[in-house]
Amino acid sequence: MIDDEEQPVGHGEALDGLVRAEVRGGRVDELVVDPRLMRLPAQDLTEHIRAAVNAALDDLGSQRPELPTVELDSLAGGLQEVQDRSLRQMAQMNEALQDVVALLREPRR
């Protein structure tokens, strides 16, 4: 598990920095609202908070590394090679087991 300090952090703000949000690990880690905004109607205040949190989530999402692309044809070829090798080994083991069984069936001298 990744420590909190090692997880990427997203930062966002609204209303010229009067509302600031920080997200870490997909959760709101910090939310700062300037006390002067407490006089706003609740609906307006929550809109600014929502905007700051969404901006922080967008920032966090932009920090994720791109996943490597996989060449499917190359992967399929590699899997086919592994399958062929496995079939050859199974045939060799089967032949060896048949030899052992044949030895066990021979009468002892």
pTM exceeds 0.75, yes or no: no
Burial class (CB in 10 A: 0-12, 13-18, 19+), 7: middle
How far the first Cα of the chain sits from its last, in Å, is 65
pLDDT at 25: 83
> Six-digit token pair at 95?
């032949």
* 106 vs 92, higher pLDDT: 92
Question: pLDDT by residue (tens digit) across 21-80?
Answer: 999 988 999 999 999 999 999 999 999 999 999 999 999 988 876 667 778 888 888 899
Q: Would you say residue 1 has pLDDT above 80?
A: no
* 105 vs 6, higher pLDDT: 105
